[in-house]
Amino acid sequence: MRALLVVNPAATTTSARTRDVLIHALASEMKLEAVTTEYRGHARDLGRQAADSNDIDLVVALGGDGTVNEVVNGLLHDGPDPERRPGLAVVPGGSTNVFARALGLPNDPVEATGALLDAVAQGRRRVVGLGRAAGTPGTEDESVPARWFTFNAGLGFDAGVVGRVEQQRELGKTSTHALYVRQVLRQFIGEPNRRRGTITLEREGADPIRDLVVAIVSNTSPWTYLGNRPMYTSPKAAFDKGIDVMGLSRLSAASVARYGTQLLTSSPERGPRGKHVVSLHDMDRFTLHSKAPLPLQMDGDHLGLRTSVTFTGVRRALRVIV
């Protein structure tokens, strides 16, 4: 097997020595080319080159969810074709690693490498569905390029939190769960629309759902992790179904405390609930419009402000070695 290993040198939970050990282990079982990313978007470019080549069977992403997202967008730059395009494997190296853990991989990069080598030797693979987001035709965002996401996306409050975390990381702060919690509190204090949202969800054959403060789109579950604790916004979301969405129409202090507690105690059977909660399951397509530009995130990557985004669930989009 010929494989391309895409290494993020800034991965938060692996040292240079650990990465060298993992590279040698992988190279002992496959014909491996390892490339270290040098700029934002480099992993996407490498994934695209692998997809367009005729001699790469597998792309291994060694890094966090952002690295995985870039590789996936490179592999699928010309659309999904899981039987012909290179497969994807993941060695988790970030602070959260939602996609890898949702696939059932160990969160430890050494253990995950061992699991990957076993999967290669035994020919284990699965084809997963992905989410896709694009600017809505006929709106001011229609020229925004489409982008794939592997586990979640969000418009509004949660994307604002992601943006704040990225700002702190650019200032040299380490990505920790405590950092995320602090930014949630700061986003809440600065949120201008927490009592009456600006988001409208539109889908074919149903009435619009209006005045959402936040909309969280899930391609799988859990939504994320706080340390080792999984948190579920859409417990029934799965890689072999369409996409789910959970929206909140109010974020008062009392409701934030209630929903925060529900998230911390959520499970594969039960997520947030209440009269201000909207939950939709296994959807193929819907659009989120906002009266004012709101932050958008995908797989934990802040993508700027948007007023209209159309989301699509694409079944059987990517072959994964797991």
- Predicted local distance difference test score (pLDDT) of residue 194: 64
Judged by DSSP in three states, 132 sits in strand
- Rounded to an integer, what distance in angstroms lies between the CA atom of residue 251 and that of residue 229? 23
Residues 6+ apart with CB under 8 A from 28: none
Tokens 């859409």, residue located: 234
- 42-52 and 65-75 are packed helices; what angle lies between their axes, rounded to 10 degrees? 30
- Predicted local distance difference test score (pLDDT) of residue 100: 97
Q: Which amino acid is at 133?
A: A
- Predicted local distance difference test score (pLDDT) of residue 290: 96
**Segment (H or E) for 256:** helix 253-264
- Predicted local distance difference test score (pLDDT) of residue 162: 85
Q: What percent of the chain has pLDDT over 70?
A: 98
Beta strands in 52-151 (DSSP E): 58-63, 87-92, 126-135, 147-149
* Count of C-beta atoms within a 10 Å radius of residue 175: 17
Judged by DSSP in three states, 130 sits in strand
- CA distances for 104 relative to 159, 169, 227, 279, 321, angstroms: 26, 28, 16, 25, 11
Residues 6+ apart with CB under 8 A from 181: none
Q: What percent of the chain has pLDDT over 90?
A: 77
- Rounded to an integer, what distance in angstroms lies between the CA atom of residue 216 and that of residue 226? 17
Give the pLDDT confidence of 9-56 residue by residue, as tens digits. 988 788 889 999 999 999 999 999 999 999 999 999 999 999 999 899
User: Per-residue pLDDT averaged across 259-265, rounded?
Assistant: 91
| pTM of the complete model beyond 0.85 | yes
pLDDT greater at residue 173 or residue 141 = 141
- Most confident residue range from 64-73, 164-173, 190-199, 250-259: 64-73
Residues 6+ apart with CB under 8 A from 239: 102, 103, 126, 128, 129, 219, 220
Residue 169 predicted with pLDDT over 80: no
Torsion angle of C-alpha atoms 161, 213, 227, 15, degrees rounded to 10: -30
- Predicted local distance difference test score (pLDDT) of residue 255: 83
Torsion angle of C-alpha atoms 17, 20, 24, 25, degrees rounded to 10: 60
Residue 77 predicted with pLDDT over 80: yes
- Rounded to an integer, what distance in angstroms lies between the CA atom of residue 266 and that of residue 274? 14
User: Per-residue pLDDT averaged across 250-254, rounded?
Assistant: 83
- Rounded to an integer, what distance in angstroms lies between the CA atom of residue 59 and that of residue 72? 9
- Predicted local distance difference test score (pLDDT) of residue 112: 96
pLDDT greater at residue 43 or residue 257 = 43
Judged by DSSP in three states, 73 sits in helix
Kindly report the average pLDDT of the chain as a whole number.
93
- Predicted local distance difference test score (pLDDT) of residue 166: 79
- Rounded to an integer, what distance in angstroms lies between the CA atom of residue 175 and that of residue 179? 6
Give the pLDDT confidence of 174-231 residue by residue, as tens digits. 767 777 778 877 877 777 666 678 999 999 999 999 999 999 999 999 999 988 899 9
Give the pLDDT confidence of 278-299 residue by residue, as tens digits. 999 999 999 999 999 999 999 9
Residues 6+ apart with CB under 8 A from 146: 132, 133, 134, 135
- CA distances for 211 relative to 79, 139, 216, 243, 288, angstroms: 34, 19, 14, 21, 11
* Count of C-beta atoms within a 10 Å radius of residue 146: 12
* pLDDT bracket for residue 319 (50, 70, 90): very high
- Rounded to an integer, what distance in angstroms lies between the CA atom of residue 172 and that of residue 84? 41
Residue 68 predicted with pLDDT over 90: yes
User: Per-residue pLDDT averaged across 136-163, rounded?
Assistant: 93
- Predicted local distance difference test score (pLDDT) of residue 155: 96
- Rounded to an integer, what distance in angstroms lies between the CA atom of residue 222 and that of residue 236? 9
Residue 135 predicted with pLDDT over 90: yes
Q: Which of 204, 169, 137, 162 has the alpha carbon at shortest distance from 294? A: 162
Q: Sign of the CA dihedral 22, 28, 29, 34?
A: positive
- Predicted local distance difference test score (pLDDT) of residue 195: 67
Residue 99 predicted with pLDDT over 90: yes
Residue 76 predicted with pLDDT over 80: yes
Partner residues linked to 34 by β-bridges: 5
